[in-house]
Amino acid sequence: MRHERLSKLISGLILGGIFFSQTVCSQPIATDKNDQEQSVKKTQKTKKESDSTFRLGEVEVKTVKTGRLSTKDVFTSVDVVGKSLIQNQNVNYVWELFNRIPGALLTNFNQGNTNGKFSFRGFNGEGEINAVKLLIDGIPSNTNDGNMPFLDALFPLNIESIETVRGTNDPRYGLHNIAGNANITTTMGGTYAKGRVNHGSFNTTDIQAGAGYEKNGFMQNYFIGYRTTDGYRAHSDMNKFSVSGKWFYAPDDANFQVGASVRHYTNHAQEPGYLTLEESRTRPFSTNAFNSTDGGRRTMNQYSAHIDIDLRHDLSWSTKAYYNDYDDSRFVKFSANVSQQNRVTQEQQYGLLSTFTYRPVVPFLRDFAVETGVDIQFQENKSKRFLTDQRVRTSQTRDQRFDFNIFGAYIQTMLKPFDSLKIVPAYRVDTIDGHLTNNLNGQRYSINDYDFIHQPKISVVYTPIEGYSFYGNWGRTFQVGVGADSYLIPPRIANLGPSLNHGWEAGIKLNPVSWFEGRIATWEQTASNEARRILNSANNDAENIGRTRRRGVDFQVNITPIDPLTMWLTYTWQDSKIVQAGSGLDITQGKEIDHIPNHMGSGGIDYKITPDLLFNLWANYQNNYFIERTNTAGRFGGFIVGNLGLSYQVTKRINVEFQIRNINDARYEYVWWDGAQSLHSPAAGRSFYGGVVLSF
């Protein structure tokens, strides 16, 4: 039955594509060059004020009349942070850079390769529900469970921008796009050579180097990064290495671009483990004797091929094919009275994303566009767990091999009935296939029959006065089981439906004068039968926590009162509750979801003291959160952490920099509940870093 539906979907997409191509080719096309130029100029004139996107730092904005609809056409809380606020940062892992993203929650495990992650829209970063679709240069980069380890392979010096889309109305992605998505863009094009060397607290050394060469339409970009540190806590040594290359060809006199990208990453890291409440207060930098062999090795590879073609002046085609390889082996012991585990995860993902974008000249609809897209991903996954004693395996508790394949398609239309109004209706559908084999008992199980997962969406932006854009959206996203929870494994024999998330947002973006930009929005997102991974389950299971509701208000402002000075401030209030508890979980009815603070904020100033001397001061804030869903074990995790940076341009090619992280030496931590006690992972205290940046 499932294969019949899949065949119908693929056949429908093929027939639809044929019909779409024939329809396009039969349409009369305006060829008046002057009309088209005027249309381009009008787009450029209104572009700044007619979207809901908020930009921080140096961001390159391109105006195009061909190619895919861009993220600015998703009228929701879209944020773009440019390279000027990224490439000078001193961080162990790239997820830490999301402290500049409004509304982003950072979860700092500080446990070797399992170090941390970001999340937003009232979802936590525990790994139970991973609600953000991650893309690197447009390539899907989540693991099967929705986690984002591929972020670790990136280094700040090679990142051009970080772009996040919060909400349920973006039709371009399906799997893991529950609360939105994030795309990291790395350097492409140009002729340059650059390098950065930093050293600082905890015996940290960071070396990054990149080079590019562009001539006659051929672009080559290379990058290598290495970072080693002893860590703030004992038994926290880390050594990570990454190398990547890009090769693209886009001749000036042609209407196409083709290219390929390769990235390799490896990391060996120790884990300091978790401390009791008393230990975390008296010796936060310590580890436990029983954690002395915890840690692991992680290796990742990403390969992709890209092609973009303007088939005609109003019709473009874009396709990306990719292969992701993930191999992780972790040894971990959470407390003295449990066994050490060896957790082995191996994943291989093969995928394709392809879109057609048609932009005919329709005078009464102005910037009219129709876009259709398909994406396919095949996963071959292995999940194994062993009980170990100081890294010596004593028994095996899990040996699963499972295929997980997802097929999706969408269509969206840009309608502009008059200059001040844009409407983007969209529709997406996904379906899933696969099997799981339990090698411990030889049994094979089929995937849940999720049927077709339908996701209608709509976005609107209205700009009655230049500089004042009112926007709103509504959409449906979905969550399906991950790991073994996706499959029909007894005693469960009935198919589970997907958890459907419905969300809306209403907001206003203000840009009345060139030196002021602000945005305020209110939002809500509800889920039907939300499933949560049971993180320490031997069978890789999940549980239904019930119907949930998340809502909040986001505020952000960016002010440049004088040319050398920029000030920014963000604040988020959010509330996440279980409004209808799952079966047998009545005690959680009406309670807050764990590990989600109600208040978060950030702010700072960037000031050019002289043309060559730049001063940065910024801070992040969140209040305490409940550490479990009955809300009876206390609240932890709040902090206010400040950071300072100085950068001096010695010569045209040499820049020196200095940073103080956690300048106020705040005590903050990640805390979780093991069923009997709170376990704590303290974050680093005040630390100092200095370095040199060379560019040629």
Structural domain spans, the chain: 2-695
Tokens coding 265:
């990453």
Q: Quick check: 302 and 323 in contact, CB under 8 A?
A: yes
pLDDT in tens, 626-657: 999 999 999 999 999 999 999 999 999 999 99
Place of tokens 């004139």: 45
pTM of the model: 0.92
Tokens coding 298:
């992680």
Q: Which residues contact 218 (CB under 8 A, 6 or more apart)?
A: 247, 248, 249
E strands, 187-249, are 192-200, 204-215, 218-229, 238-249
- What distance in Å separates the CA atoms of residue 87 and residue 654, rounded to the nearest whole number? 15
- What distance in Å separates the CA atoms of residue 631 and residue 592, rounded to the nearest whole number? 7
Q: Is 73 helix (H, G, I), strand (E, B) or coil?
A: helix
- What distance in Å separates the CA atoms of residue 529 and residue 149, rounded to the nearest whole number? 27
Q: What is the pLDDT of residue 360?
A: 93
Number of other residues whose CB lies within 10 A of the CB of residue 326: 22
Q: What is the pLDDT of residue 66?
A: 59
E strands, 390-515, are 392-418, 421-433, 435-438, 443-446, 453-465, 468-479, 499-510
Torsion, Cα of 430, 433, 436, 442 (10° steps): 170
Q: Which of 86, 225, 204, 261 is nearest to 153 (CA)?
A: 225
Query: Which phi and psi angles does 286 have, rounded to 5°?
Result: -90, 175
Place of tokens 């309670």: 591
DSSP-assigned letters across all residues of 84-113: GGTTT---SSGGGGGGGSTTEEEEEEEETT
Burial 292-302 (b: 16+ CB within 10 A, else e): ebbbbebbbbb
- What distance in Å separates the CA atoms of residue 186 and residue 167, rounded to the nearest whole number? 24
Tokens coding 314:
């109003």
- What distance in Å separates the CA atoms of residue 472 and residue 507, rounded to the nearest whole number? 6
Q: What is the pLDDT of residue 61?
A: 60
End-to-end CA distance of the chain: 60
State the SS3 of 526-576.
Answer: EEEEEEEECCCCCCCCEEEEEEEEEEEEEEEEEEEEECCEEEEEEEEEEEE
Q: Which residues does the chain have with pLDDT short of 50?
A: 1-3, 5-47
Q: What is the pLDDT of residue 582?
A: 87
- What distance in Å separates the CA atoms of residue 223 and residue 187, rounded to the nearest whole number? 9
Q: Kind of pairing, strands 678-682 and 635-636?
A: unpaired
Superfamily name with CATH number, domain 2-695: TonB-dependent receptor, beta-barrel domain (2.40.170.20)
- What distance in Å separates the CA atoms of residue 183 and residue 133, rounded to the nearest whole number? 8
